[in-house]
Amino acid sequence: MDTKTLLEWSARYHTPNYGRAPICIVRGEGARLWDSDGREYLDFTAGIAVTALGHCHPRVTGAIREAAATLLHVSNLFHTAPQIHLAKLLCEHSFADRVFFCNSGAEANEAALKLARKYAKERFASDRYEVIATRESFHGRTLATVTATGQEKYQHGFEPLMPGFKHVPYNDLRAMARAIDNRTAAILVEPIQGEGGVNVPDDDYLPGLRKLCDESGALLIFDEIQTGVGRTGRLWGYQHSDIEPDIMTLAKALANGVPIGAMLAREDVARALTAGSHASTFGGTPFVASVALAALSTVIGDKLPERADRLGRGLMDGLRAMARRRSIIREVRGRGLLIGAELRQAAGPVVDACRERGLLVLTAGERVLRLAPPLIVDEQDCQRALDTIDAVLDATGA
């Protein structure tokens, strides 16, 4: 099938809710993708921070083959060994005591919101249900998570939104303190805002949120859907601070591209979920749990968070050197291999021009160029990405 026909059929038969690039990806290996015309791309999107191990990693592919030939699905009315091993591995490498599995980040955040409300109602009062989130945040596309999301563009047209949510500026402890009252069940926040512009908080922000929650009895929920699984240079983003959350949500890179979500919680908090109070038909099937077990074990065993930290520092140094020569780059920020370069103009045309030169990158908000390569990327790929961005900015006279 030729590319022109594929794109025509895509335009005719898909719902029009994606702004897709005019290429059709047919194959991937490591940090590279190929389109239906045979053109190669260096992938610095990783499926929006999903394929942390790159495309077709041999251990993930092997786990997929073995799991598919062994057992695809049984309901959560039964125990399965892969799910048990995955839950154990997650708890042994985080603050958490318990894990609930689902299919996506939005589902994981839905579970966290429901758990926070149930815990607060049982522990404090029936009118304690509000969740405070932050502006410019992104927490998902379901009705509750799009309400939690602090960006009106994702909410427009879907009103009335869910009741029980407040939004305050990110990285503003005073605003958060003023928003907390006797109806506050939880604070929901990303350790680093990804979609909102790769916004890194001050060092005292996450500890300050922990203190506010301890004083008020509210739960602290970290949305680590984008920052988790080694992306920021630590296994979890919260590990850059000295505090721990009460609940953490994961998805994206957890199974390196096979859909999965997870909500992790402390023992006393998780107890609010009794049998029958919450569920997910496909959550943590033996197939996806086997794949996630292989992916997470590889991230930990191959010390990929440390690699992300080292390579990310090099990329940010390169972008900052570029910023000293080019006034178009206002600021470079990020941690590990979650990096944003804020421009003084819209980032979309730069993303398009990079793609034309064989480099796939992302936007984050209107003006931020976002780099989220797989954690297995090497120094030569990083230098090629920097050279491509520099050439694109040079061609535009920026």
* Average pLDDT value for residue range 137-163: 97
Tell me, what's the pLDDT at 315? 98
Tokens representing residue 331 in the block: 């600021």
pLDDT-derived band at 396 (thresholds 50, 70, 90) equals confident
Residue 385's CB is within 10 A of a number of other CB atoms, namely 24
Catalytic residue, candidates 118, 165, 222, 223: 223
Place of tokens 């590889």: 298
In the DSSP assignment, the letter for residue 372 is -
pLDDT-derived band at 291 (thresholds 50, 70, 90) equals very high
Tokens representing residue 281 in the block: 């038909």
Tell me, what's the pLDDT at 354? 98
Q: What angle do CA 383, 386, 388 make, to 5 degrees?
A: 110
pLDDT-derived band at 227 (thresholds 50, 70, 90) equals very high
Q: What are phi and psi of 274, to 5 degrees?
A: -95, 170
* Average pLDDT value for residue range 167-196: 98
Tell me, what's the pLDDT at 1? 85
* Average pLDDT value for residue range 279-287: 97
More confident residue, 173 or 398: 173
The residues facing 267 across adjacent strands are none
> pTM value?
0.97
pLDDT-derived band at 112 (thresholds 50, 70, 90) equals very high
Catalytic residue, candidates 101, 138, 222, 287: 138
Tokens representing residue 164 in the block: 């029980």
Tell me, yes or no, if 303 is annotated catalytic: no
First to last CA, the chain: 39
* Average pLDDT value for residue range 148-159: 97
pLDDT at position 154 over 80: yes
* Average pLDDT value for residue range 95-117: 98
Contact criterion met (CB below 8 Å) for 210 and 220: yes
Percentage above 70 pLDDT, the chain: 99
Tell me, yes or no, if 223 is annotated catalytic: yes
pLDDT digits (tens, 9 = 90+) for 330-386: 999 999 999 999 999 999 999 999 999 999 999 999 999 999 999 999 999 999 999
Tell me, yes or no, if 138 is annotated catalytic: yes
Nearby residues of 237 by Cβ (< 8 Å), 6 or more positions away? 190, 191, 192, 222, 224, 227, 228, 231, 335
The C-alpha atoms of residue 203 and residue 205 are separated, in whole angstroms, by 6
Catalytic residue, candidates 246, 252, 287, 381: 252
pLDDT-derived band at 99 (thresholds 50, 70, 90) equals very high
pLDDT digits (tens, 9 = 90+) for 33-74: 999 999 999 999 999 999 999 999 999 999 999 999 999 999
Tell me, what's the pLDDT at 337? 98
